[in-house]
Amino acid sequence: MIQLSARVHRVPQSRLATFAIALPLYRVFDYAVDGADELKPGARYRVPFANGARTGILLEPVESSSLDPSRIKAVLEKLDDGPVIDAHMLELSRWLAEYYLQPLGEVLFQCLPGYLRGARAHQPTRVKRYFLVDPDRERIDALEKRSPRQFELCRALLQNPAGLTAAGLKQVNPNWHGVVRALIERQLVRWDWLQADTPELPRRTDRPTPSTEQAGILNELESRMEGFAVHLLDGITGSGKTEIYLRLIEQKLALGRQVIYLVPEIGLTNQLVERVGQRFGACFVTSHSGLTELQRYRAWDRFRRGEVNIMLGTRSSLFSQADRLGLIIIDEEHDHSYRQEDGVRYHARDVAIKRAQMLDIPILLGSATPSLESINNCARDTYYRYCLDQRPTRFAPPAMQLIDTGDSKLTFGISARIFATIDKHLERHGQVLLYLNRRGFAPVVMCHECAWQALCPQCDARLTLHQSVQSLQCHHCGYCSGVPRCCPQCGNDEVRHYGIGTEQLEHGLAARYPQFPVLRIDRDAAGSREALRSRLEQLQSGDPCILIGTQMIAKGHDYPAITLSVILDADQALFSASYRASERLAQTLFQVAGRAGRGDREGESLVQTRFPSHPLLQALMRDDYRGIAERLLQERRELGFPPFARVVMFRADALELDPALQKLEQIKTLLQVAERFTGISCIGPMPALMTRRIGRYRAQLCLLSADYQALRAVLHDAMPQIQELPSGSRVNWTIDVDAYDL
Ligand code: ADP
Ligand code: ZN
Ligand code: ZN
């Protein structure tokens, strides 16, 4: 007894806790924290690390450490009073780290908005705005005698229907605090956060009445909006999927729930932001790479606090925290941009499904060209599938037509047949879309005397000519040089360029069609949001014009005046080494074709090719996406490729090839695949397809297996040792679970 009470009286000096630090290290760290502090998992601290300081996230208090007590350091500073990562997000992060075999510290930090990844204080500069609850003159006038100071403030608020901030109130009365408090108690005044980040758009009340098809699907979906389930909305382009999302969001908001709505690329979806704004007013935030760190942080914070109910954003918005999350929507679920390919490797769609399952809420995937993975999951009865086969507008998506270029002469990459069709559509006041997934002026620059080629000094890649800025650029590392006047190898005074990029196409078409605007949208031309906006306005105006672009224009937008869509470079993908190439090409072609004919004029879609008899192109002419997807799935099954197998890829890079290969050889030995299991193919180590990139040589080791449990078991046993392998500047290595490609 005496001993016990002695222990109770001892003031705790410090306590131990484990922390995750944003480093590619598969371990957590113990530090001592002031014993008087409440230890809140998910809060940030500054901790001593190596010879400096780092930001760490408190994971959990622990009773003891395996470290020698003398070696345990104390934290330097507490950065947050409460957790910045809530319990659910900690759990999801742990799952992500475990499933994708990524370091927990890196996973946790990438869940946070960039603004909070360092030591910046989590104190948003938010402003309260005060309003009159009810501008009732009589009640206000009644105050004049009884409480002149309250009367004075009310009068000022009456003159400012949009409300006043503290600064405004201070001008009326320097001691406004007490006065406002009294008015709030009397329920004459209320306050709200000043919502500066979301523009208030004029609300529209005229929602389209759902078509019979839409109504049927809405009915089914509505009955399944409680509890976890994955729903795939498989609807042709322009069939009104977005309209269904908006209806479901509306219902969730009415129940007081919040919604995360993910889209692949927001550049072209200004339209979508407007549509959501018109429907829901200012109760949503957006988050995408076009915003500053501070803006993204604000959006994240407002959603987290429940001030807004919709988070509309790109991939990483999935990690937005919310107490009342009721639905996750993933539009264009097949899109490759949901996969994060550097840093922490994960697939946002798959993590979203896990998140929905943890929260026991529904998740809705939508696409006109669903991924083979999702289609397969529908076939396995794990997803609900809903098909929309008609457009609510007048015309079905145009059937694609192959244009065989054969030996015909091309003018800046376009055949005469296609020019004739472009002429026809422009004459009839249609807008024309040309898809060419190659930016720059020309992809090849060479000397025809000695065959010298302009190559990137840092990558195994050619340099692309960008004529408007007179430079040669590497699209992989950003290397940039001037354009040589004569051949650097033999001195020949003529250096030629070959091939066509979007910049050249723009020049050529502008010269050929001086009477029509030619708009180019790619990363070079639409760099600034202003430039992009003005181009989009032109499209919105409905006047005839020509739109040229890379994959930025392939998806997501709805411009009813586009009547012709042309795919200029399907051929590249026909002979690709990637097993995903056919799926991606089919998706791109259906998406691009589907941009045409959305309004009240019928659309047309052309695919230019030198290989019109290629089986995939032939199939595209005969069949719809669903039929093609079934066939591709069958092929995958026969070849034993995903989704009928899982892929885990180890990658290594170094300043020379050998050390990278050696590292993977070590990993392979630790995996002991050959000794332990059959049914796991181990391919490599071998040099990566583009071996040298940004000055480093890259190699890969691929595990492929239909037996997921066996694959997991191999990894589970070997990972602790593999994780101990140092990853440093000499050789970096990473692991990629469910790698997108082989
Ligand atoms: P998706 O998301 O499938 O591409 P959208 O929801 O963008 O399709 O719809 C395509 C076009 O059809 C939009 O302009 C939209 O306003 C319109 N639309 C959708 N549903 C209806 C409806 N029930 N009645 C009339 N127009 C509709
Ligand atoms: Zn030469
Ligand atoms: Zn390069």
Protein residue with least CA distance to atom 5, ligand 1: 240
- What's the CA-to-centroid distance between 237 and ligand 1, angstroms? 9
CB 553 within 8 A of CB 581: no
Sequence-distant contacts of 181-187: CB under 8 A, at least 24 apart: 182/147, 182/150, 183/150, 183/153, 183/154, 186/150, 187/133
Q: For a pLDDT cut of 70, what percent of the chain falls above it?
A: 94
Chain centre to alpha carbon of residue 3 = 59
pLDDT (tens digit per residue) in 513-569: 999 999 998 888 766 677 777 888 888 889 999 999 988 888 777 888 999 999 998
More confident of the two residues 600 and 419: 419
The residue behind tokens 């309209």 is 243
Whether the bond into 148 is cis, omega within 30 of 0? no
Measure the CA–CA gap between 426 and 73, rounded to whole angstroms: 72
Atom of ligand 1 nearest to the CA of 214: 23
For residue 240, the CA-to-ligand 1 centroid distance in Å is 4
Which atom, in ligand 1's list, is nearest to the CA of 275?
A: 16
For the chain, give me the number of helices (H) and strands (E)?
23, 32
CB atoms within 10 A of CB 18: 18
Q: What is the reported pLDDT for 7?
A: 41
Q: Is the pLDDT of residue 697 over 80?
A: yes
What whole-number distance in Å separates Cα of residue 402 and Cα of residue 592?
14
Residues 226-281 pLDDT 10s: 999 999 999 998 899 999 999 999 999 999 999 999 998 755 567 888 888 888 88
Q: Judge if the upstream peptide bond of residue 124 is cis by omega within 30 degrees of 0.
A: no
What was the pLDDT predicted at 268?
A: 55
Rounded to 5°, angle at Cα 111 from 107 and 117: 90
User: How far is the centre of ligand 3, averaged over its atoms, from the C-alpha of 692 (Å)?
Assistant: 9
pLDDT band per the 50, 70, 90 thresholds, residue 124: low
> How much is the pLDDT for 71?
84
- The interaxial angle of helices 625-639 and 372-379, nearest 10 deg, is 90
| Rounded Cα gap, residues 513 and 510, in angstroms | 5
Q: 57-61, 533-537, 615-619, 645-649: which has the minimum mean pLDDT?
A: 533-537
* DSSP tag of 553: G
Token pair 């046993």 in the structure block, residue: 717
Region 185-198 average pLDDT: 72
Single-letter residue type at 231 = H
For the Cβ of 234 lying below 6 angstroms from any atom of ligand 1, the answer is: no
CB-ligand 1 contact for 393 (6 Å cutoff): yes
Distance 20 CA to ligand 3 centre (A): 34
Confidence of residue 728 (pLDDT cuts 50, 70, 90): low
- Count of Cβ atoms closer than 10 Å to residue 664 Cβ: 22
* DSSP secondary structure string for all residues of 70-86: GGPPBP-EE--SS-SS-
pLDDT band of residue 203 (cuts 50, 70, 90) is low
Residue 720 tokens, joined? 């602790």
Mean per-residue pLDDT of the chain? 88
Integer Cα distance of 405 and 413 in angstroms: 10
Which band of pLDDT confidence, cut at 50, 70 and 90, is reported for residue 51? confident
One DSSP character per residue, 271-326 reads HHHHHHHHHHTTSEEEE-TTS-HHHHHHHHHHHHTTS-SEEEESGGGGG---TTEE
707 Ramachandran zone, left/alpha/beta (phi>0; psi -120 to 50): beta
Residue of 438, 509, 491, 440 whose CA lies nearest to 470: 440
Ligand 1: nearest atom to the Cα of 594? 4
Separation of first and last alpha carbons in the chain:
67
Alpha-carbon gap, residue 56 to 202, rounded angstroms:
44
Query: Of the residues 206, 393, 601, which should be mutated to test ligand 1's pocket, given the most ligand atoms within 8 Å of the CB?
Result: 393
Give 276-302 pLDDT, tens digit per residue: 888 888 788 888 887 888 888 988 998
Q: Are 263 and 76 in contact, with CB atoms under 8 Å apart?
A: no
Joined together, the tokens standing for residue 383 give 């997803």
Q: Look at residue 495 in the predicted model and tell me its pLDDT.
A: 92
CA of 446 to the centre of ligand 2 (A): 8
Q: Is 237 in the pocket of ligand 1 (CB under 6 A)?
A: yes
- Between CA 261 and CA 248 the distance in angstroms is 11
Give the pLDDT confidence score for residue 252 in this predicted structure: 93
- Rounded Cα distance between 255 and 294, Å, is 30
What pLDDT was estimated at residue 69? 78
3-state helix, strand, coil in the chain (%, to 5): 35, 25, 40
Measured by CA distance, the residue closest to atom 20 of ligand 1 is 240
Residue 328 phi/psi, 5-degree rounding, is -120, 130
Question: Which pair of structure tokens corresponds to residue 205?
Answer: 């009340």
557 CB near ligand 1 (under 6 Å): no
Q: In DSSP terms, which residues pair with 61 in a beta bridge?
A: 17
What mean pLDDT is predicted for residues 93-97? 96
| Mean pLDDT for the stretch of residues 576-585 | 89
Question: Ligand 1: which of 242, 269, 559 to mutate, judged by most atoms within 8 Å of the beta carbon?
Answer: 242
Number of neighbours of residue 686 by Cβ within 10 angstroms: 13
| Residue 125 pLDDT class (50, 70, 90 cuts) | low
Quote the CA–CA distance of 471 and 287 in Å, as a whole number: 33
- Going from the Cα of 367 to the center of ligand 2, the distance in angstroms, rounded, reads 49
Ligand found nearest the CA of 590: 1
Beta-carbon contacts of residue 123 (< 8 Å; ≥ 6 apart): none
Q: Show the tokens assigned to 407.
A: 């030996």
540 lines ligand 1 (CB under 6 A): no
